[in-house]
Amino acid sequence: MNLGYNIFKYAAKEISHSAFWAWVLECTTSEDPAHKAPRDLGLAFLKKIGCDNFGKVKEVCTEHCPKGLKIPGRKARFDIHVAFDSGKALVIENKVTAPMNKNQLKDYHEYGKTNDAQFVFLNLGYWYNYKVPSDWERLSAEDVRDIFDATDFKSHPLLNDYYNWLNARINDWAKIRHQLWNPNIDPEELSELLFYPIGQWQFIKKIFSDCTGQATRGVNSSGVSFTEYDFFLLPNDHPLKKSFPEYLTYRIDTMVAPYLQIKQYLHFRKMAKQKWLDMTEEELKKRQSVNYEILKGIWDEAVIEVSNHNPDFNLRVSPSTGNGPYSKVLQWFYIGIDSKEDSKLNAPLDLKKWIPRLHKTFIQKLKQHGWPIEEGQLPHSKQGS
């Protein structure tokens, strides 16, 4: 992102962007000709989210701590709070880079039930699978760009800088999406793209675009981002939960090189504390081991079948090593560009071609072996697994 002398290169924190939008919304009350561009932008913003009939802006606050809102473990505050002369209010939760606290919007939603408030989730970062209450307004970076495009923002240097910063972000995301599947991509660039959450997310979502499952983000023990695609987990109240307590997932992570692995995961210590399950740690560990051997055998069958039926099958599979205390790996696929015959690396386009076929065959064989795959299809909560 080369923005030249753009002030928003240095505005990495949410509070900086909250200040910008608070100023824009406050300018809707100004009659100063110098504020015409931000005033028009603020009015266009309010119209976009359905607040153009709320009356005149009375007060704008950032880091607002409302009375009556208590959130356990931290101080409750809204990124932006706008009070109107009609008595209505607007609350904006602003995200730029940080992941969203899964309970945050729910807490705010409870506050809104007893207050005449409209809530908006303003996500200026990449849009992952954020779960936003249905009655919230949602604005993506692309939506905000459209709001700018509906106004004469270029007449104001600060607004112009903000638009250029926002547009550069969106273009960078598109470039990542394109480069991941570029057969001529530089190997080092590919590794770098798959080190970051956006590259991992786009990689996973593209490979499993026709599959039933749920993509999730996380951070490994070294502080490095990973992305998973979960495709099997029985609900907690399922009658077969004791027989199939684990969840199954594909995970893209980075060590020496980026890799994709398929794994079985069961946090037996956490699960043993769930009274509804009524299983000890040892019972869960034993069940995990038994199921793993079955899963490994079924997966190997799937690989052999796809390989035998497709002479052009060219994935380089690696041994199922590197098990953790709660996870067991069925297969590794290292990701990279290397034409050497003895290389362990797989090009993204090859993985995109063959992983969905392997997955489909694996799912079919799991059903044949009595796994309740359809009942365990995600998305639903992974609590307790």
SS3 call for 335 = strand
Mean pLDDT of 140-148: 97
% of the chain exceeding 90 in pLDDT:
67
CATH of domain 7-170: 3.40.1350
Most confident of 67-76, 118-127, 213-222, 305-314: 305-314
Q: What is the pTM assigned to this prediction?
A: 0.85
- Assigned token pair, 273: 């504390």
Buried/exposed code over 279-301 (b: 16+ C-beta within 10 A; e: otherwise): beeebbbebbeebbeebbebbee
Residue 385: per-residue pLDDT:
46
Q: Is 278 left (phi over 0), alpha (psi -120 to 50) or beta?
A: left
% of the chain exceeding 70 in pLDDT:
90
- Assigned token pair, 221: 């023990």
For 235-276, give the DSSP string. -TT-TTTTTS--EEEEEEEESSSEEEEEEEE--HHHHHT-TT
- Amino acid 224 reads V
Average pLDDT, the chain: 89
Q: Is 142 left (phi over 0), alpha (psi -120 to 50) or beta?
A: alpha
SS3 call for 328 = strand
Residue 379: per-residue pLDDT:
58
Question: With the CA atoms of 140, 145, 147 and 152 taken in that order, what torsion angle do they form, in degrees rounded to the nearest 10?
Answer: 170
Mean pLDDT of 85-94: 92
Mean pLDDT of 122-149: 90
SS3 call for 359 = helix
Mean pLDDT of 238-256: 91
Q: Are 281 and 272 in contact (CB under 8 A)?
A: yes
DSSP state of 71: B
Alpha carbon distance 57, 45 (integer Å): 13
182-208 confidence digits (pLDDT tens): 999 999 999 999 998 999 999 999 999
- Amino acid 2 reads N
Helix axes 36-48, 14-26, angle to 10 degrees: 100
Q: Are 269 and 275 in contact (CB under 8 A)?
A: no
SS3 call for 315 = coil
Alpha carbon distance 272, 328 (integer Å): 18
- 366 pLDDT tier (thresholds 50, 70, 90): very high
Residue 384: per-residue pLDDT:
44
Alpha carbon distance 249, 265 (integer Å): 8
Residue 383: per-residue pLDDT:
46
Q: Are 343 and 316 in contact (CB under 8 A)?
A: yes
The candidate with the shortest Cα–Cα distance to 84, out of 107, 108, 115, is 115
What is the DSSP pairing of strand 137-139 with strand 89-95?
Answer: unpaired
Instruction: Find how far residue 262's CA is from the centre of its chain.
Output: 19
The candidate with the shortest Cα–Cα distance to 110, out of 91, 127, 86, is 91
Which position has the higher pLDDT, 298 or 384?
298
- Assigned token pair, 132: 């936003």
The domains of the chain are located at 7-170, 187-376
Alpha carbon distance 163, 158 (integer Å): 9
